Structure 1
Amino acid sequence: MSFQSNTTLVALELRNSVWLVGTRLAGAQKTRMHRISAGDTAALLTLFKGLRPNQRPSEDSAPIACCFEAGRDGFWIHRLLTDHGIAAYVVEPTSILVNRRAKRAKTDRLDAEGLLRVLAAYLAGDSQICSMVQVPSPEEEDGKRIHREREHLVQDRTRLENQILALLATQGIRSRPSLRNWERDLAALQTGDGRKLPPRLAAEINRLRRRLGLVLDLIRELDAERDEVLATAPDDPVASKVTALRSIYGVGDNFAAVLAREVFYRPFGNRKQLASYVGLAPMPHQSGDMDRDRRIGRAGNARARKTLVQLAWLWLRYQPESELSAWFRQRVGKLQGRTRRIAIVAMARKLLIALWRFTETGEIPAGSTLRAA
């Protein structure tokens, strides 16, 4: 949508109980504030309708542009407004330029007025004033649910396992009973001073084991659902990319799903845009005679970035003959510590670009091997 002098600007400041709606009519300098109950879409649409009080049916609709910050409300408001012919924008909150003074006033009214200024500048052509979120379709958003839920379950699994080990460590026991033979192994445990495990502690550990078993069952259920989705939608472009990534030796099913549904489902113009979206692009620092790259920005998709760094370590193990692994060995050699961690991030960026080209053009990463059919 191009900025026009007769564009009415609207900013939504979303809160749990009340929404503050700031409006600025075309050509006006004053901002009006309206309060509606959170989630009251009928009142919101009525408010938008009231912004065109003198419009005749034969006249073209006066343009209205609305924006709000990305947050816990997701994208359903954007879809609602778009379905009613209202241009909606979702602002990335951390990208808004703000006053750098140490202390500044902070109220919902000031935030709404700030969003109106940002929206006006963005529509006037200032694309550096903020970043707008590319809203995914409902299908794309729903496709991310499986691997995101699985990630939370894996965190629960790790937490429960560590909790069991910590309780056993308080009694001088350094190993956890096997889940296959839990009752037998738990009964045979002895504390570091030769006593049997206290009954209350054994009961608590057993309850933790039952919760751990439920989490493991849910993870297996999600893995089966993920495979079923790929089998029932072979013509889906994103599912095809997941299948293609799984064909590379060393790229697991979950890693392939995360990369395809978090990153490769979006179009990218070049590799710099791709690395910037994931947060693996270095930050330039130039001042006078100084011109160098600092650490990565980390302003992109944290889930995809973590997955890529993990995959880079696995790539060294499962694809040792590839050009990327050779580059890493030549660059790092036998060095350890910080140098090795910096180099693995650089390799993760190169691996991201190589996998992106593979999903888009079929170009196999140089020197890598594929799984047997």
Structure 2
Amino acid sequence: MQYWFGLTIINSAIEPDHLDHWSKAAIEQLHQLELAPATRQTLNSHLRELAFLIEEQQSIDKQIKAQAITCGQQNRIERLKTADGVGHVVASTFAAELFHPERFNRPEQVAAYLGLAPMVRESGGKHDRGRLRPVGQKRLRSLLIEAAWIWRAKDEQAKAFYDRLLSRSSIPQKAIAALARKLAIKLWRLSLDPATA
């Protein structure tokens, strides 16, 4: 994206519609722009790289879906995908990392396993919830935090929860981690039984 802004300044090119989502139409508009030969060559190189990465992502997504069917996780993954912000990658990773969700008895155990439980410090009767514990499933935790941002954007209740926490702590990372924890617990419940979420 930064490359595109530099390109527009140098060539006074008009930014295609929907470039923020890299839609097919926007990419096609980039192919049609009239640019200086050296700029065109550079842009074409970037567009070929983008096409390769899109193709790789599609290939990996197909492999993940096939693996989910092979492991008998397809129904669980489809249930997980009903949550806002959760796509196939998050759902598949969650199903694979938790695998036997029934082994957890309480939501706090799931949060701790995923590294989404805050460390609690007690001193003189005060309870201070600090950083996340540096343990757990780092890859899944990162995916859940990304999914929480999407959930926040799509769901008014999630946004209100995030805003309430942000007003208390003034730390966006802390608020989004709490929302990711809430999402993880929701996904755990969906993994067990769709009626409990």
Instruction: Give TM-score scaled by structure 1 length.
Output: 0.42
Answer yes or no: is 1:200 the counterpart of 2:38: yes
CA contact (8 A) 1:264 1:356 kept: no
Q: Which residue of 2 aligns with 1:361?
A: 193
Answer yes or no: is 1:263 the counterpart of 2:98: yes
| Structural mapping, 1:128-207, within 5 Å | 161-162=1-2, 164-165=3-4, 168=7, 171=10, 173=12, 178-185=26-33, 188-189=34-35, 197=36, 199-207=37-45
TM-aligned CA deviation for residue 253 of structure 1:
1.8
Instruction: Give TM-score scaled by structure 2 length.
Output: 0.73
CA contact (8 A) 1:284 1:294 kept: yes
Q: Which residue of 1 aligns with 2:175?
A: 343
Unpaired segments ≥5 residues, structure 1: 1-160, 190-196, 366-373
Q: 1:296-323: CA deviations, max 9, x gaps?
A: 2242222212222222233234443xxx
CA distance in structure 2 between the partners assigned to 1:244 and 1:264 by the alignment: 14
CA contact (8 A) 2:8 2:15 kept: no
Quick one: which amino acid aligns to residue 147 of structure 2? L
Residue of structure 1 aligned with 2:133, choices 266, 280, 297: 297
Q: Which residue of 1 aligns with 2:151?
A: 315
TM-aligned CA deviation for residue 290 of structure 1:
4.0
Residue of structure 2 aligned with 1:331, choices 156, 164, 177: 164
Q: Which residue of 2 aligns with 1:274?
A: 110
TM-aligned CA deviation for residue 208 of structure 1:
1.9
| Structural mapping, 1:51-62, within 5 Å | none
Distance 1:256 1:296, change over 3 A: same
TM-aligned CA deviation for residue 217 of structure 1:
1.5
TM-aligned CA deviation for residue 362 of structure 1:
2.8
Quick one: which amino acid aligns to residue 219 of structure 1? Q
* 1:211 alignment partner, SS class: helix
CA distance in structure 1 between the partners assigned to 2:14 and 2:165 by the alignment: 36
* 1:314 alignment partner, SS class: helix
TM-aligned CA deviation for residue 239 of structure 1:
3.2
Distance 1:286 1:336, change over 3 A: closer
Answer yes or no: is 1:284 the counterpart of 2:120: yes
CA contact (8 A) 2:162 2:175 kept: no
* 1:247 alignment partner, SS class: coil
CA distance in structure 1 between the partners assigned to 2:158 and 2:31 by the alignment: 45
* 1:200 alignment partner, SS class: helix
Structure with larger Rg: 1
Distance 1:337 1:217, change over 3 A: farther
Residue of structure 2 aligned with 1:222, choices 37, 41, 60: 60
Aligned residue-pair number: 187
TM-aligned CA deviation for residue 172 of structure 1:
5.5
CA distance in structure 2 between the partners assigned to 1:173 and 1:209 by the alignment: 19
CA distance in structure 2 between the partners assigned to 1:317 and 1:306 by the alignment: 17
TM-aligned CA deviation for residue 364 of structure 1:
4.0
Q: Which has the higher contact order (CA 8 A, sep 6+)?
A: 2
Q: Which residue of 2 aligns with 1:149?
A: none
TM-aligned CA deviation for residue 251 of structure 1:
2.5
TM-aligned CA deviation for residue 166 of structure 1:
5.8
Answer yes or no: is 1:244 the counterpart of 2:79: yes
CA contact (8 A) 1:241 1:260 kept: yes
Quick one: which amino acid aligns to residue 88 of structure 2? D
Pick the structure with more strand per residue: 1
Identity across aligned pairs (percent)? 26
Pick the structure with more helix per residue: 2
CA contact (8 A) 2:113 2:136 kept: yes
Quick one: which amino acid aligns to residue 74 of structure 2? A
Moved more, 208-217 or 249-258: 249-258
CA distance in structure 2 between the partners assigned to 1:277 and 1:306 by the alignment: 14
CA distance in structure 2 between the partners assigned to 1:356 and 1:349 by the alignment: 10
